[in-house]
Structure 1
Amino acid sequence: MNITIDEAHLTDTSIYVVYEGEESRFRLTESRKQRMTLTWFYGRSDQETDALVVGMGQRSKLTLEQVRRTGASAARALLKENKTGGALIRPSVRDGGSSSRISIQEELQAWVEGWMYGLYQFNKHRGVTANLQSLSLHLRLEDWEGLSRKDLEAVIRTAEIRIEGTQFTRDLVNESPETLNPEAFVAVVEDRFKKAPVQLHVYRGQELRDRQMNGLIAVGAGSKYDPAMIEISYNGAGSGKESPHIVLIGKGVTFDMGGMNVKIGRDISDARMDMGGAAAVVGAMDILVSHKAPVRVTALIAVADNLSGPDAMLPSSVVHYPNGLSVQVANTDGEGRLIIADALLHASNLGADKVIDIATLTGNVGAALGLEIAGIWGDPQITADMVEIGERNGERLWPMPLMDEYESELRSDYADLKNVGTSTLAGAITAALFIRHFVADSMEWVHIDMAGTVQYKREFPHSAAGATGYGARLLADYVEKQFLQA
């Protein structure tokens, strides 16, 4: 991550920021100043630097996500032109522009995050098509009025921590299933945090049976790789401060074949991404620990494969949980909620005050909300806080209802509950209702269904196709905000 200050002479491209209704050094129509509009001006000789003009729309309506996506788009545009770097040239308010509703520090961080986000490429399994090109970003101190060089360096470091956690999340989600199975996932997490100030414990084998984590045991039975519950505890708040205990729960199904209700289709390679929630939780923990955040947080990551096979869980099986509930497995492809149930019960045993579970749980949520926004259910205050955070950091959420009237969908003829509803409608809501049965009264809880937001199915100007890294910054920002307000 090569970002420099006042070394613009090292670059072969200048990146000029322009706003609607404001003067610029280029002859541009107002349409070329609209947000996320890129215009190239090529040098007329080898001695003349090329220029990329990036439209930002109206300065008074500028958002942080708009800045991030523009920065990402600019970086990707330079990559496609085989450039070595870009010098960002930003007009200030004193140049005659209107004021912005975001602070200059926030704007700078968004530029840096977006730039690095746009440069992301997953090259691990590529050979001759791998793109290992590097690209530097050069900042000018004079463009960031009121900030010292030390201020810029601090903002850059914060952005780097956040993008490293996000890109770790993306790498995990993009990974191939023969490389990232449940046992390999555990090993990757152990390696990532081996030098971190955390307590890490992995429950598997007899420990899963002793703690009656029967959802994980049932779901993972069809795989040759053992399921596991990873517990990562971090206390940066110290023992002298009364701090709420926040638990983050992630669904980590490293390949979801659907179990015996096997998925069919021409290409089901997206089944490797059914651990997006687990990856988001791991990425969030990476951000919090690297940032030395003064927080008390535990991650619970339920990891398994959901495959068919001679030992696999069968449709109509009954899973018994230690809270007394029994669950009829009406469909083995509704496995995520079975393992989240284990994690919620364990969170209660740990004395959790607030719990957030995040999962690629239902295709139904994508049908309702599309691919740019996830659904959230549960505690109104946590929901409101997370929606506000998501609007600022670009990982957006939409509040969804817990309809008590739909509980009838989960009734079983021979167990306490079914894991899926009988109707084809409101599947995301009935999934949330199922999960709610395993939330202790002492815990404040929300459930996030991020199935639609886990990946881009095609390339966009601001992102490569593949994993988005959704959730890592969202969870980290929420946890840190709670302790800043305490």
Structure 2
Amino acid sequence: MTRVQLTDDAPLTTTVDALVVGAYQGADAPIAVDPDHAAVVAAAATVGATGKPGTITALPGTGLAAATRILVAGLGAAPGQDVGTLEAADRPDDTAPAGAPADDGAVLRAGLAERVRRAAGAASRAAVGSATVLSTLGAVDLTAAAEGHLLGGYVFTTYKQPAKPPVETVLLAGAGTDAGADATVGRAAITAQAVLMARDLVNTAPNDLYPAVFAERASAAAGTVRGLTVEVLDEHQLRDRGYGGISAVGSGSSRPPRLVRISWSPKDATRTVALVGKGITFDSGGLSIKPAAGMDAMTSDMSGAAAVVATVIAAAQLELPLGVVAYAALAENLPSGTAYRPGDVIRHYGGTTSHVLNTDAEGRLVLADALARAAEDAPDVVLETSTLTGAQIVALGKRTMGVMGSAALRDRVAELARGAGEAAWAMPLPEELREGLDSSLADLANVSNDRAGGMLVAGHYLREFMPPGAQWVHLDVAGPAFHDGGPHGYVIKGATGVPVRTLLAVLRDEAGSA
């Protein structure tokens, strides 16, 4: 993992492999964030720099700085800039409407922070092969710059070495070196480490990461942090204790299911949050088998479980004054002579029955067990996340998660997600869609016969396993959790680590209100 540390060295006179300088997008030319860097940005403009968000312009440091290379990172509209002066096609999508005062409102601050995060990530990707990089982006937003450089420096090397190694060290200049700044960088590093842990788990090939191995890796990681306790239920305990959903979904594989429970319970905690994650380590669809095209990406179907495990570990590292209990429901969904079938009726933990109409709607079956178990802890809030439906991608695209659940909490979680830099949109649960889950044979059918509103129907199914009045939210991250395109900002192909930053943002918010 790339390291970040603070420095008070002067950017232009420090000898490093690369210097990162920020530039805002002006109406006619890029504008240096720091006036001392105006000559650098002007030189970059002669070779095409515009200051557009997400752009990186490289030029040699000779005559401009002591660094071997200079990377000018575009940040989009400057605080206070009337974005109406920009061409419509050039306006950053996360700025305020034309003429809005840029110093007002969390939306504007979050928008700038995310542009800094993306610029830092893009700079770390552009600087591969460099031992030391000095970045001035921390002077704009220290947390975002630290997170962006760490996330952008990520490379998954288990099976293949990169052509050039990632950046070893990023020196953040211009934000001070006092204890407050150091603590900010420390918190950002813990957040980034959690995201990268989730990415590592998701990117591991399914032949190397099946339920038992996931449980072992989660237990080992939790064991390195003081104050965490771990419980793992194997296939026999799951069956004997009535976890019918997890047991059924895992019945077709020779590699049996697991349920992992990791808890952080500080003495001063007055509130508790339960985290529940879907952990299908590979999803073939079972007997309702998926098409072959794209099935390889179903190694990512345990993104929710990876996220909640990484989040509870980070909560302990941050020593949040809040109880956090994470449940990872783990199974491999394969067809075989022992697999569960369309037409089966299964009994979940707690007694609710489901009529299985489609074995490829398996995630909600394992989550139902985990949600029912989590409710026994009587948490104040339940946050569940899963790569649950293709309908999420149809409705919101590949980068925006759908947020459903208790209305006020749902809206707050969506806002916190956007503030953390993870795109999210609050979605309703229209009551008429619940009717599609009625079954004459069981309490619920696991799918509706009507394809309309599939993401929302799945939300209704999960709601059935929450006690009346419970405060809960479902995050469908089917698209955002795994990126199958080219790199952008701090994201490369493969696992993204979404929604770890959202979950941590909600935990911090809950801890602040405790």
Normalization by structure 1: what TM-score?
A: 0.90
Deviation (angstroms), 1:383? 1.2
User: Match for residue 291 of structure 2?
Assistant: 264
User: Match for residue 448 of structure 2?
Assistant: 421
Where do 1:125-274 residues align within 5 Å? 125-126=159-160, 129=162, 131-140=164-173, 143-144=174-175, 147-196=176-225, 197-236=227-266, 238=267, 241=269, 243-274=270-301
Contact 1:76 1:461 in 2 (8 A): no
- The 1:406/1:91 distance shift into structure 2, 3 A limit, reads closer
SS at match of 1:406: helix
Identity %: 30
SS at match of 1:87: strand
Aligned equivalents of 1:115, 1:134: Cα separation in 2: 9
Contact 1:344 1:439 in 2 (8 A): yes
Contact 2:138 2:172 in 1 (8 A): no
Aligned residue pairs, count: 463
Say yes or no: does 1:59 pair with 2:89.
no
User: Match for residue 12 of structure 1?
Assistant: 17
SS at match of 2:439: coil
Aligned equivalents of 1:386, 1:168: Cα separation in 2: 22
Give 5+ residue unaligned stretches, structure 1.
Answer: 93-103
User: Match for residue 52 of structure 2?
Assistant: 34
Contact 1:249 1:355 in 2 (8 A): yes
Contact 2:400 2:425 in 1 (8 A): yes
Matched AA of 1:170:
R
Give 5+ residue unaligned stretches, structure 2.
Answer: 33-37, 80-94, 96-110
SS at match of 1:364: helix
Deviation (angstroms), 1:48? 6.8
Say yes or no: does 1:472 pair with 2:490.
no
Contact 2:202 2:306 in 1 (8 A): yes
SS at match of 1:67: helix
User: Match for residue 337 of structure 1?
Assistant: 364
Deviation (angstroms), 1:31? 6.8
Contact 2:286 2:360 in 1 (8 A): yes
Aligned equivalents of 2:230, 2:396: Cα separation in 1: 36
Deviation (angstroms), 1:349? 1.7
SS at match of 2:157: coil
Deviation (angstroms), 1:194? 1.4
Aligned equivalents of 1:344, 1:87: Cα separation in 2: 46
Deviation (angstroms), 1:3? 2.8
Matched AA of 1:32:
T
Say yes or no: does 1:89 pair with 2:122.
no
What do the CA deviations read for 1:153-201 (whole angstroms, capped 9, x no partner)? 2222111111111100000011101100011001001111113311211
Deviation (angstroms), 1:440? 0.9
User: Match for residue 74 of structure 1?
Assistant: 123
SS at match of 1:193: helix
Where do 1:233-382 residues align within 5 Å? 233-236=263-266, 238=267, 241=269, 243-382=270-409
Contact 2:286 2:335 in 1 (8 A): yes
Question: Quick check: 283-292 or 6-15, which moved more?
Answer: 6-15
Aligned equivalents of 1:252, 1:53: Cα separation in 2: 40
Matched AA of 2:70:
A
- The 1:84/1:442 distance shift into structure 2, 3 A limit, reads same
Aligned equivalents of 1:277, 1:333: Cα separation in 2: 17
Contact 1:229 1:303 in 2 (8 A): yes
Deviation (angstroms), 1:278? 0.3
SS at match of 2:223: coil
Deviation (angstroms), 1:49? 3.4
- The 1:457/1:328 distance shift into structure 2, 3 A limit, reads same
What do the CA deviations read for 1:44-76 (whole angstroms, capped 9, x no partner)? 589773221112122215521111000000111
Contact 1:353 1:442 in 2 (8 A): no
SS at match of 2:327: strand
Matched AA of 1:12:
D
Deviation (angstroms), 1:139? 2.5
Deviation (angstroms), 1:88? 2.0
- The 1:439/1:90 distance shift into structure 2, 3 A limit, reads closer
Contact 1:123 1:131 in 2 (8 A): no
Contact 2:18 2:67 in 1 (8 A): no
Aligned equivalents of 1:74, 1:57: Cα separation in 2: 15
Out of 482, 485, 498, the residue aligned to residue 455 of structure 1 is 482
Deviation (angstroms), 1:136? 2.2
- The 1:118/1:468 distance shift into structure 2, 3 A limit, reads same
Aligned equivalents of 1:274, 1:53: Cα separation in 2: 37
User: Match for residue 115 of structure 1?
Assistant: 149
Question: Quick check: 286-295 or 212-221, which moved more?
Answer: 286-295
SS at match of 1:432: helix
Deviation (angstroms), 1:408? 2.2
Deviation (angstroms), 1:360? 0.4
Contact 1:68 1:114 in 2 (8 A): yes
Aligned equivalents of 2:472, 2:172: Cα separation in 1: 42
Aligned equivalents of 1:170, 1:47: Cα separation in 2: 35
Say yes or no: does 1:3 pair with 2:32.
no
What do the CA deviations read for 1:365-410 (whole angstroms, capped 9, x no partner)? 0010001110011112211221121111111211111111112211
Matched AA of 1:120:
Y
- The 1:130/1:303 distance shift into structure 2, 3 A limit, reads farther
Matched AA of 2:265:
N
SS at match of 2:370: helix
Aligned equivalents of 1:207, 1:158: Cα separation in 2: 38
Matched AA of 2:55:
T
Matched AA of 1:153:
D
Question: Quick check: 59-68 or 291-300, which moved more?
Answer: 59-68
Aligned equivalents of 1:329, 1:473: Cα separation in 2: 34
Aligned equivalents of 1:356, 1:478: Cα separation in 2: 9
Aligned equivalents of 1:355, 1:156: Cα separation in 2: 29
Deviation (angstroms), 1:248? 0.5
SS at match of 1:179: coil
SS at match of 1:275: helix
SS at match of 1:59: coil
Aligned equivalents of 2:219, 2:401: Cα separation in 1: 29
Aligned equivalents of 1:425, 1:441: Cα separation in 2: 26
Aligned equivalents of 2:427, 2:415: Cα separation in 1: 15
Aligned equivalents of 1:245, 1:44: Cα separation in 2: 56
Matched AA of 2:119:
T
Deviation (angstroms), 1:116? 0.9
Deviation (angstroms), 1:15? 1.6
What do the CA deviations read for 1:9-29 (whole angstroms, capped 9, x no partner)? 341222211223445223238
